[in-house]
Chains A and B, each alone.
Chain A
């Protein structure tokens, strides 16, 4: 996988048409690429450059500025544990350590089965629910070791952890059509968003 596939090119063109300037679509198209491949490949950046009339270097400049764009493969579930001040005071280090132990990997790495990646995060703006973590950017607040066990167990077994549905990393929720036809797109809800930006919800 590398360049955007035919269907994503169509989606990309639809996104580009929404903007007065083509290159304004760079970020939504990067999300498309990340949805397709799970991370941003150099080939995708080149392709996006061609689509929006920018050089690959310019696209890479944008893509490397944002933490949410990954440049290496990440697991299906990206677990981000906040270790900033509030969370740290309330036991973030323990949460992180426990998550690492449960998954058998260190923060910054991915399990061999490609299912989980752990990331250490800066303040997630959920200090009121500290310590907190995110799975594919969905929040879990006031986490404890037990809840971490529960979340990991649910995800391993294809269940929704604590009732939250969590699509695979990179899945876009509200980018506009064309309608999905491939299995990878199945879970994407069809909705017309007034300000279509490839935002992960």
Chain B
């Protein structure tokens, strides 16, 4: 190619006589599909490498020697390629392949979970010969065997497509299932006694094009034609994976991953996939509970709300609004959180609100840092991990980062007190001394990587709740000093914690990432009078409660006895608070101590929106009715407001969404209409990102009426993504990760891609908002927060020669209510085991596996030990929030670090 002829950006190929445009490098099967021609396939999957295993995708490609059969999943398009997908030769090949695949297939469709949504069934019907010449005895295997406690395999049904095994190896990085044997006796299996214990195992069930892999929580629960589904977003952690919620008889029976390009690529982690079981639990609260003496007894909403009203108005009248606090909110939708934020600030008049439970980072800093998206993190020149173990805390973010390391050569600098799931993929992993993270940023290895790195993105979260958040803030400050252009992706893990913070469920912060001081006038013009001073955070609230200074404490799905790092303080707080009101779906350790418990609806039972860690707002849809009289948190807020003599002014969820878009500066344009539009399919990015890229606050001075017609803003383009689709247009093929609302692929999609990829939806939305701007009659819309972490350099005491410094971090499966009420997941919580470097164990004279007494300044516990080379010397590691006594009992939240002694008993 000469200099004057630039490389072609698109190719033209002919498929069945129709010319379509294709992208260089694109596989023929994908290009044809975008062009509207579905080529049958079993092994090909757009999110995995092609392997050409099944030969179902054979088509005729014209070559120098005439048309030749070629597997379309293995050949990239070439300019001018001529393809026939319907010739008699192709038909014969398809017939042959299907007849061969069915030779050993048991055809037990009537008792197979996949029956009715099975690509093998569908494609046999659409492309198969209709009969088999095979009359011999079929190969037999023992019917289902367990690959793990979650996934069962029926080897007779397996067609050896290599999807599950490829996924385990390529995508999950857990190659624990493999093809064993050869020929007709090839089987998928695990090594004996080494089960497929991957956090991502459920994806293989969804990927399997036949009924060979089944998930135990769904096995024999429903038939596909009985299922009803909506699309929603997972809120089991803050990644916010898109999924389809499927129900039968008003019970959620299955969740399937839906492919959203900027977020989850179709994958779900097993926690997100299976913790729906909790919504069907018999332990769900269905009626309000009111305390009489030592017992909580069921009562009506009228009685319970009257009690709450009496307690809160009494507290406010007698002790002032500052005697009321609202703790929690990460479980809530944005709309719920907004309602509670408004209720607390206006009707209750308190700023003592905090959605985090001392396990996160200071809200005003997190909200104000320059932002990065997941995509930006994965395409950075260097990704710095200053956060908890991604694999344990944000599993699908781990998959994305791992994938970027494997496929795009992303370089990762990990700074962590202990080894994590990411360590083996990091270019360098620097062990930080707990409490002294900042010095690790200045470590030579870290410095060498940071120097000269172009675009640096940092995932910032809380690595250990046994050390103060100040350590993380200092490290962030050190990083900003070393690399001034660094942008941040939040690593806060809790469900919708970002939505809750964005809605102002943090002291001194108002909806849309503005401070109480900056936003007083702007938000006040809609909300009315706001509290005068910033309130207390979770630690402050619990301390105040313990000192008897709080008369009313509302727990919004918060369980401080389990989740707050310092259980002793939480205990004293619950004992010292006047009236404790818990709004929860289950009785938790904390809500058992409440005076009134109100039953709440959870994910799947209510609609709204949620904001993920990159600030992407996605829809949550309702599929089933909440049990008993449980209801959405915003309704409870609205009802309480009116009983307390106020009026939040909400009529519906959509109404709140639109009020958020109007009031919250970072949420400009994110209206209910925009979320429902095709542009909203991938979720809409909040404006904070926009700010990071532009000088000056773009949201400043915008008019009041932000009416966005998203369709107008985007033309008629449907969603921009390449998706697999199933042969039957009305039947989604979940195994291929297609969107459950049907196949929207069209030429417009292709055009959008060819026209230069996806635009920034929100920017476009905002532009159109500006165009239709009305003259402001309200105060100026304030700029979203910008912050630089303040350096505290809090003095950390030296660890004495007898002690180990504690690191307490989260595991995927913990003592959380959803996991513990999901029978399939609860047994997977690993429990509290002290992991110590073998050299330290030897020094202390402890044999690994023995029980030891672990003593901190707070208490002494008896726990078993485990030798672990991933824990550096001088450190003891405990998983946080595991069943039974554990880390929270040892930690003093006021201390910068926690030191423990291990003694043999």
Q: Is the CB of B175 within 8 A of A64?
A: no
Q: Is the CB of B180 within 8 A of A46?
A: no
Q: Is B194 an interface residue (CB 8 A)?
A: yes
Q: Is the CB of B181 within 8 A of A56?
A: no
Min CB gap B143→A, angstroms: 21
What residues of B have a CB within 8 angstroms of the CB of A55 in the complex?
A: 174-176, 178, 191, 194
Min CB gap B869→A, angstroms: 14
Q: Is the CB of A42 within 8 A of B181?
A: no
B168-200 contact mask (Cβ, 8 Å, vs A): 1 or 0: 010000111111111000000111101000000
Q: CA separation between A59 and B179, bound complex, in Å?
A: 10
Q: Is the CB of A42 within 8 A of B178?
A: no
Q: Is the CB of A57 within 8 A of B191?
A: yes
B194's closest neighbor in chain A, by CB?
A: A56
Q: Is A60 an interface residue (CB 8 A)?
A: yes
Q: Which positions 565-587 of chain B face chain A at CB distance < 8 Å?
A: none
A34-56 contact mask (Cβ, 8 Å, vs B): 1 or 0: 00000000100110000000111
Residue A58 contacts which of B178, B181, B182, B192 (CB distance < 8 angstroms)? B178
A59-103 contact mask (Cβ, 8 Å, vs B): 1 or 0: 111001111000000000000000000000000000000000000
What residues of A have a CB within 8 angstroms of the CB of B178 in the complex?
A: 55, 57-58, 60-61
A49's closest neighbor in chain B, by CB?
A: B191
What residues of B have a CB within 8 angstroms of the CB of A54 in the complex?
A: 175
A66's closest neighbor in chain B, by CB?
A: B182
Residue A61 contacts which of B180, B192, B194 (CB distance < 8 angstroms)? B180
Q: CA separation between A45 and B180, bound complex, in Å?
A: 13
Q: Which of B178, B180, B181 has the most CB of A within 10 A?
A: B178
What residues of A have a CB within 8 angstroms of the CB of B176 in the complex?
A: 55, 57
What residues of A have a CB within 8 angstroms of the CB of B192 in the complex?
A: 42
B183-223 contact mask (Cβ, 8 Å, vs A): 1 or 0: 00000011110100000000000000000000000000000
Min CB gap B812→A, angstroms: 20
Q: Is the CB of B194 within 8 A of A64?
A: no
Q: CA separation between A55 and B173, bound complex, in Å?
A: 11
Q: CA separation between A57 and B172, bound complex, in Å?
A: 15
Known contacts A42-B191, A42-B192, A46-B191; A57 and B182 CB within 8 A of each other? no
Q: CA separation between A151 and B788, bound complex, in Å?
A: 85
Q: CA separation between A33 and B570, bound complex, in Å?
A: 57
Min CB gap A119→B, angstroms: 15
Min CB gap A76→B, angstroms: 26
Q: Is the CB of B175 within 8 A of A57?
A: yes
Q: Which positions 363-385 of chain B face chain A at CB distance < 8 Å?
A: none
Q: CA separation between A16 and B52, bound complex, in Å?
A: 30
What residues of B have a CB within 8 angstroms of the CB of A59 in the complex?
A: 191
Q: CA separation between A55 and B189, bound complex, in Å?
A: 13
Min CB gap A66→B, angstroms: 8
Known contacts A57-B190, A57-B194, A60-B191; A65 and B175 CB within 8 A of each other? no
Q: Which of A45, A56, A59 has the most CB of B within 10 A?
A: A56
Q: CA separation between A91 and B266, bound complex, in Å?
A: 59
Q: CA separation between A54 and B178, bound complex, in Å?
A: 12
Min CB gap A70→B, angstroms: 13
What residues of A have a CB within 8 angstroms of the CB of B191 in the complex?
A: 42, 45-46, 55-57, 59-60
Q: Which positions 335-349 of chain B face chain A at CB distance < 8 Å?
A: none
Q: Is the CB of A58 within 8 A of B175?
A: yes
What residues of A have a CB within 8 angstroms of the CB of B181 in the complex?
A: 64-65
What residues of B have a CB within 8 angstroms of the CB of A61 in the complex?
A: 178-180
Q: CA separation between A60 and B179, bound complex, in Å?
A: 9
Q: CA separation between A42 and B177, bound complex, in Å?
A: 15
What residues of B have a CB within 8 angstroms of the CB of A67 in the complex?
A: 182
What residues of B have a CB within 8 angstroms of the CB of A65 in the complex?
A: 179, 181-182
A56's closest neighbor in chain B, by CB?
A: B191
Q: Which positions 160-192 of chain A face chain B at CB distance < 8 Å?
A: none
A46's closest neighbor in chain B, by CB?
A: B191
What residues of B have a CB within 8 angstroms of the CB of A57 in the complex?
A: 175-178, 189-191, 194
Q: Is the CB of B180 within 8 A of A60?
A: yes
Q: CA separation between A55 and B182, bound complex, in Å?
A: 19
Min CB gap B55→A, angstroms: 20
B624-644 contact mask (Cβ, 8 Å, vs A): 1 or 0: 000000000000000000000
Q: CA separation between A123 and B847, bound complex, in Å?
A: 57
Q: CA separation between A59 and B175, bound complex, in Å?
A: 10
Q: CA separation between A45 and B191, bound complex, in Å?
A: 9
Q: Which positions 141-181 of chain B face chain A at CB distance < 8 Å?
A: 169, 174-181
Q: CA separation between A65 and B174, bound complex, in Å?
A: 21
B753-773 contact mask (Cβ, 8 Å, vs A): 1 or 0: 000000000000000000000
What residues of B have a CB within 8 angstroms of the CB of A64 in the complex?
A: 180-182
Q: CA separation between A45 and B190, bound complex, in Å?
A: 13
What residues of B have a CB within 8 angstroms of the CB of A42 in the complex?
A: 191-192
Q: CA separation between A65 and B177, bound complex, in Å?
A: 15
Min CB gap A134→B, angstroms: 19
Q: Which of A59, A61, A67 has the most CB of B within 10 A?
A: A61
What residues of A have a CB within 8 angstroms of the CB of B190 in the complex?
A: 57
B180's closest neighbor in chain A, by CB?
A: A64
A45's closest neighbor in chain B, by CB?
A: B191
B169's closest neighbor in chain A, by CB?
A: A58
Q: CA separation between A64 and B179, bound complex, in Å?
A: 9
Q: CA separation between A61 and B192, bound complex, in Å?
A: 12
B190's closest neighbor in chain A, by CB?
A: A57
Min CB gap A111→B, angstroms: 26
Q: CA separation between A57 and B178, bound complex, in Å?
A: 6
Q: CA separation between A61 and B190, bound complex, in Å?
A: 9
Min CB gap B566→A, angstroms: 40
Min CB gap B146→A, angstroms: 15
What residues of B have a CB within 8 angstroms of the CB of A46 in the complex?
A: 191
Q: CA separation between A154 and B462, bound complex, in Å?
A: 73
Min CB gap A26→B, angstroms: 12
Min CB gap A57→B, angstroms: 4
Q: CA separation between A60 and B180, bound complex, in Å?
A: 7
Q: CA separation between A90 and B887, bound complex, in Å?
A: 76
What residues of A have a CB within 8 angstroms of the CB of B182 in the complex?
A: 64-67
Q: CA separation between A46 and B176, bound complex, in Å?
A: 12
B185's closest neighbor in chain A, by CB?
A: A64
Min CB gap A50→B, angstroms: 13
Q: Which of A54, A58, A59 has the most CB of B within 10 A?
A: A58
What residues of A have a CB within 8 angstroms of the CB of B194 in the complex?
A: 55-57
Min CB gap B482→A, angstroms: 33
Q: Which of B182, B190, B191 has the most CB of A within 10 A?
A: B191
B182's closest neighbor in chain A, by CB?
A: A65
Q: CA separation between A54 and B175, bound complex, in Å?
A: 8
What residues of A have a CB within 8 angstroms of the CB of B180 in the complex?
A: 60-61, 64
A42's closest neighbor in chain B, by CB?
A: B192
B193's closest neighbor in chain A, by CB?
A: A42
Q: CA separation between A46 and B190, bound complex, in Å?
A: 12
B179's closest neighbor in chain A, by CB?
A: A61
Q: CA separation between A61 and B180, bound complex, in Å?
A: 5
Q: Which of A42, A57, A61, A67 has the most CB of B within 10 A?
A: A57
Q: Which positions 95-152 of chain A face chain B at CB distance < 8 Å?
A: none
Q: CA separation between A54 and B180, bound complex, in Å?
A: 15
Q: CA separation between A66 and B189, bound complex, in Å?
A: 16
Q: CA separation between A66 and B180, bound complex, in Å?
A: 10
Q: CA separation between A55 and B177, bound complex, in Å?
A: 9
Q: List 28 A-B contacts (CB under 8 A).
A: A42-B191, A42-B192, A45-B191, A46-B191, A54-B175, A55-B174, A55-B175, A55-B191, A56-B191, A56-B194, A57-B175, A57-B176, A57-B177, A57-B178, A57-B189, A57-B190, A57-B191, A58-B169, A59-B191, A60-B178, A60-B180, A60-B191, A61-B178, A61-B179, A64-B180, A64-B182, A65-B182, A66-B182
Interface residues of A (CB under 8 A from B): 42, 45-46, 54-61, 64-67
Given contacts A42-B192, A57-B190, A65-B179, 12 further A-B contacts (CB under 8 A): A45-B191, A46-B191, A54-B175, A55-B175, A55-B178, A55-B194, A56-B191, A57-B177, A57-B189, A57-B194, A59-B191, A66-B182
8 shortest A-B CB distances, which residue pairs? A61-B178, A56-B191, A57-B191, A57-B178, A64-B180, A64-B181, A55-B175, A65-B182
